[in-house]
């Protein structure tokens, strides 16, 4: 089957983008990273993508002022020009309007650094520490007009340690993100993910039976 053409939208260093590029090098991976777009000309990830020979573009939101519609029209035009079939938001720090989101039903993914629906929005690691949760993590979900609220495709969890700071916790979560996003994109590109009543149902993949206790019981 032909590989799905994926466009990755970034705003910064692009480590999740790099993880997707790396995964897509496998000849059996069902998607290829065909375009990396940034809303910031100085996003570090652009150089990484160029070094990998991937087409890049900048749609600088600053140039559009408050005109979100024109900004999104420009993004959409780039995605269409490169015949993109699936969009991955990877640290893309602009809110998208329903106009753009509705053009990509079940074809636009986002990675969020928390176990949704907990800790939507920003500063997720600081808020997780403050709340005292014992398990934290990352979520890949389909994008819907409501922020961080679309159907969940996959999640990865880390245990919170006594001495964790936002930095140590972020460092463990990002490692999980780099495994989770390639996995979630693979499932979507293979057409294994169905949405029913707002939930993703995933066909033909093992789901572990074991529950994780944090902290683990000591004998």
Min. distance of Cβ 110 from ligand GAR in angstroms?
A: 7
Phi, psi (deg, nearest 5) at residue 172: -75, -35
User: Minimum Å distance from CB 71 to ligand GAR?
Assistant: 18
Q: For residue 122, with 0-12 CB atoms within 10 Å meaning exposed, 13-18 middle and 19 or more buried, which class applies?
A: exposed
> Is 137 an interacting residue with respect to ligand GAR (CB under 6 A)?
no
* Residue 91 in contact with ligand GAR, rule: CB under 6 A: yes
Choosing from 12, 73, 94, 202, the residue that interacts with ligand GAR (CB under 6 A) is 12
Contacting residue, 7, 8, 9, 16, with ligand GAR by CB under 6 A: 16
Task: Spot the catalytic one: 112, 125, 141, 178.
Answer: 112
Q: Which of 141, 174, 123 is nearest to 19 (CA)?
A: 174
Q: 74 or 139: whose CB is closer to ligand GAR?
A: 139
Of 20, 41, 39, nearest to 31 by C-alpha is 20
3-state secondary structure at position 174: helix
Place of tokens 């005109």: 67
Largest CA distance in the chain: 62
Nearest residue (CB) to ligand GAR, 123 versus 217: 123
Q: End-to-end CA distance of the chain, in Å?
A: 51
- Judged by CB under 6 A, the chain residues 22 through 81 that form the site for ligand GAR are none
Tell me if residue 112 is catalytic: yes
Given the structure tokens 């999980």, which residue do they identify?
176
Residue 146 near residue 102, CB atoms below 8 Å = no
Q: Toward ligand GAR, which CB reaches closer, 147 or 214?
A: 147
Residue 8 three-state SS: strand
Structure-token match 């001495």, residue found: 163
Q: Report the nearest approach of ligand GAR to the CB of residue 112 (Å).
A: 5
Based on the shown chain and the rule CB under 6 A, indicate whether residue 111 belongs to the binding site for ligand GAR.
yes
Which is nearer to ligand GAR, 7 or 113 (by Cβ)? Answer: 113
Which residues does the annotation mark as catalytic?
A: 112
Residues that bind ligand GAR (CB under 6 A): 10, 12-16, 90-91, 111-113, 174, 177
């Amino acid at each position: 089957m032909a590989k799905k053409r994926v466009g990755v939208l970034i705003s910064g260093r692009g480590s999740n983008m790099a993880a997707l590029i790396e995964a897509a090098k496998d000849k059996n991976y069902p998607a290829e990273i065909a375009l990396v777009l940034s809303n910031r000309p100085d996003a570090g990830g652009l150089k990484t993508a160029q070094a990998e020979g991937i087409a890049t573009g900048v749609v600088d939101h600053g140039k559009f002022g408050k005109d979100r519609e024109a900004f999104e029209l420009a993004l959409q035009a780039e995605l269409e020009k490169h015949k993109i079939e699936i969009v991955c938001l990877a640290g893309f720090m602009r809110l998208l309007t329903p106009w753009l989101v509705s053009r990509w039903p079940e074809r636009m993914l986002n990675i969020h650094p928390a176990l949704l629906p907990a800790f939507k929005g920003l500063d997720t690691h600081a808020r997780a520490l403050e709340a005292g949760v014992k398990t934290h993590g990352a979520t890949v979900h389909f994008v819907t007009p409501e922020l961080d609220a679309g159907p969940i495709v996959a999640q990865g969890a880390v245990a919170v340690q006594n001495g964790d700071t936002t930095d140590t916790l972020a460092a463990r979560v990002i490692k999980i993100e780099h495994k989770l996003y390639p996995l979630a994109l693979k499932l979507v590109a293979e057409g294994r993910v169905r949405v029913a009543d707002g939930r993703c149902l995933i066909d033909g993949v093992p789901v572990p039976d074991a529950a994780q206790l944090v902290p683990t019981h000591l004998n």
